[in-house]
């Protein structure tokens, strides 16, 4: 999936643009719908505005490193990252003592800290991103994963990503709904999401997350920085 030469990408985007009339923002790769597209490539002819024939997708793997994602991580493709960025995950209400309260709605703020891949060398904007999930010891999704768009969560589980990037939120949940992912908008370093913790008796959960600091407007995975982590939260009272 790694591309050494992006000539084909430019060509297909140049063709796609006038046809679908999509904005440059909507075409930022990875597109919101890339995560559920087949890993062997998109064979169809643009059912959605972002569909580019021949482009490989994530096949339902969100690269959080979780069991659900078969251990796949962003860093498997975003190679040689310098490892200088960080990410903070803030919960509201706060999670204290490493214990979540069962059946509780948490607002989550994901922040890319120490961004280094900033515009320059002719790159006018940067595209960053994240994926985050909660997984039980059974290797299954734990609780309800939520976008910051009301009604978009793993409970309602929209089958598809919208044809155009939503403008009323920063994250999305769809497809197999096994993770929350970023809505690709250049120059974004803060994303909002949510989690309803699982019912009492669910035991400890793992939060897997990853943040990518990109600098090529979605045209390369080779020189980005990555921060990946897993945090275990025990069940609280």
Q: Considering the complex, what minimum distance in angstroms separates the CB of residue 99 from ligand HEC?
A: 26
**Distance of alpha carbon 216 from alpha carbon 10, whole angstroms:** 13
**Does the footprint of ligand HEC cover residue 145 (CB under 6 A)?**
no
56 to 38, 45, 209: CA distances (angstroms): 6, 14, 22
Q: How far is the CB of 64 from ligand HEC (least distance, A)?
A: 6
* Whole-Å CA distances, 192 to 1, 142, 144, 151: 29, 19, 15, 14
* Minimum gap (Å) between residue 136 Cβ and ligand HEC: 20
Of residues 84 and 200, the one with the C-beta less far from ligand HEC:
84
Q: Nearest-CA neighbor of 219 among 184, 188, 190?
A: 184
**d(C-alpha 149, C-alpha 40), whole Å:** 30
Pick from 185, 170, 171: which is nearest to 217 by CA?
185
Q: Footprint of ligand HEC on residues 87-106 (CB under 6 A)? A: none
Q: Which of 17, 20, 25, 77 binds ligand HEC (CB under 6 A)?
A: 77
CB of 98 to ligand HEC, least distance (A): 24
> Does 174 interact with ligand HEC (rule: CB under 6 A)?
no
Between CA 92 and CA 99, with CA 96 as vertex, the angle to 5 degrees is 105
User: Which residues in the 199-228 window bind ligand HEC by CB under 6 A?
Assistant: 210, 212, 214-221, 224
Q: How far is the CB of 163 from ligand HEC (least distance, A)?
A: 20
The closest residue (CB) to ligand HEC is 214
Phi-psi region at 164: left, alpha or beta (left = phi > 0; alpha = psi -120 to 50): beta
Which stretch in 72-80, 135-143, 199-207, 229-237 sits in contact with ligand HEC by CB under 6 A? 72-80
Interface contacts to ligand HEC, rule CB under 6 A: 1-3, 6, 9, 29-30, 62-63, 72, 74, 76-78, 127-131, 210, 212, 214-221, 224
């Amino acid at each position: 999936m790694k591309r050494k030469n992006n000539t084909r990408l430019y060509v297909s985007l140049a063709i796609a643009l006038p046809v679908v009339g999509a904005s440059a923002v909507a075409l930022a790769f990875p597109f919101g719908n890339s995560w559920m597209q087949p890993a062997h490539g998109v064979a169809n002819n643009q059912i959605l505005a972002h569909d580019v024939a021949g482009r490989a997708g994530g096949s339902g793997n969100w690269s959080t490193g979780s069991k659900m994602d078969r251990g796949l991580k962003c860093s498997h493709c975003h190679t040689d990252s310098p490892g200088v960025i960080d990410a903070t995950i803030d919960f509201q209400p706060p999670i204290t003592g490493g214990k979540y309260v069962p059946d509780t709605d948490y607002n989550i703020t994901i922040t890319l800290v120490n961004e280094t891949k900033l515009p320059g060398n002719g790159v006018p904007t940067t595209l960053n991103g994240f994926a985050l999930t909660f997984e039980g010891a059974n290797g299954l999704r734990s609780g309800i994963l939520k976008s910051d768009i009301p009604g978009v969560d793993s409970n309602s589980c929209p089958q598809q990503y919208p044809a155009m990037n939503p403008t009323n939120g920063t994250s999305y949940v769809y497809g197999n709904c096994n993770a929350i992912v970023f809505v690709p908008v250049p120059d974004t370093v803060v994303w909002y999401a949510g989690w309803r913790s699982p019912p009492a008796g669910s035991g400890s959960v793992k939060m897997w997350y990853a943040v990518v600091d990109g600098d090529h407007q979605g045209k390369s995975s080779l020189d980005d920085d990555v921060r990946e982590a897993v945090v275990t939260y025990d069940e609280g009272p």
